[in-house]
Amino acid sequence: MAVLEACANQADVRLVLLRPGKEEDEPEQRIVPEPGIRPGSGARVLTVSQNNTAVYLPGESGAQPRVDVIDETGTTVASTLLPKPPSPEATVSQSGSLVTWWTGDALLVFDSGKLTQRYTIAAGETAAPVGPGVMMAGQLIVPVTGAIGVYDPVSGANNRYIPVDRPPSGSAVIPVVVGSRVIEQRGDSVVALG
């Protein structure tokens, strides 16, 4: 478990990593300072794997926003720079061996074990991601403008687009797979495809 914590007597937030301790009633706690990251800055824990935590850290004081992967000892083991801050609607999902983070205009894809970034699906000439991805039939499917993009989950190569009539929306399109159907949450609406 991991949380970003703001304390009244400290200017910066800190990451608190909790894991089972030797005593059942007392978890082991590790505190990781995040210098220069202020409360209310938009920093957030994206996901936690068994030993690693992915954290979005905004670009404070002219620094570029990034995703840091922090291990159980509090050491940053990977860092991915972002071209700009994510949308307030940014959404994370985990499906199979992948974690996807839709930033508002791109999709970052991470391995769910070590949280290593595999690739980014960016906006192209005809389609841009409009939500996180989900695994179906061994493929990563991603809602994109006017379609569902079908991608190789290992390389991120696009295999094809399946046209979908979807009205424009400012909120994320969040897919889930139920049997042979794709269910999309589009703001307050839920739509079944297939």
pLDDT at 11 over 80: no
Give the pLDDT score at 1.
78
Candidate from 24-33, 74-83, 145-154 with smallest mean pLDDT? 24-33
pLDDT at 172 over 80: yes
pLDDT at 38 over 90: no
In the chain, where are the structural domains located?
A: 1-85, 86-193
pTM, rounded to two decimals = 0.88
Q: Which residue has the higher pLDDT, 34 or 133?
A: 133
| Cα 129 to Cα 189: distance, rounded to the nearest angstrom | 18
Q: Are 76 and 115 in contact (CB under 8 A)?
A: no
> Mapping DSSP to helix (H, G, I), strand (E, B) and coil, where does residue 27 land?
coil
Q: Which residue has the higher pLDDT, 135 or 63?
A: 135
Q: Which CATH class is domain 86-193?
A: mainly beta
Average pLDDT over residues 120-146: 94
| Cα 99 to Cα 133: distance, rounded to the nearest angstrom | 8
Q: Which residue has the higher pLDDT, 104 or 2?
A: 104
Give the pLDDT score at 95.
94
Please state the φ and ψ torsions of residue 32, each to the nearest 5 degrees.
-115, 110
Q: Maximum distance among all alpha carbons in the chain? A: 55
> Which of the four pLDDT bands, split at 50, 70 and 90, describes residue 62?
confident
Give the pLDDT score at 35.
74
Give the pLDDT score at 104.
93
> Which of the four pLDDT bands, split at 50, 70 and 90, describes residue 19?
confident
User: In what order do the strands lie in the sheet containing 2-5?
Assistant: 2-5, 14-19, 28-33
Q: Taking all residues of the chain, what is their mean pLDDT, rounded to a whole number?
A: 90
> Which of the four pLDDT bands, split at 50, 70 and 90, describes residue 190?
very high
Average pLDDT over residues 85-101: 94
Give the pLDDT score at 22.
74
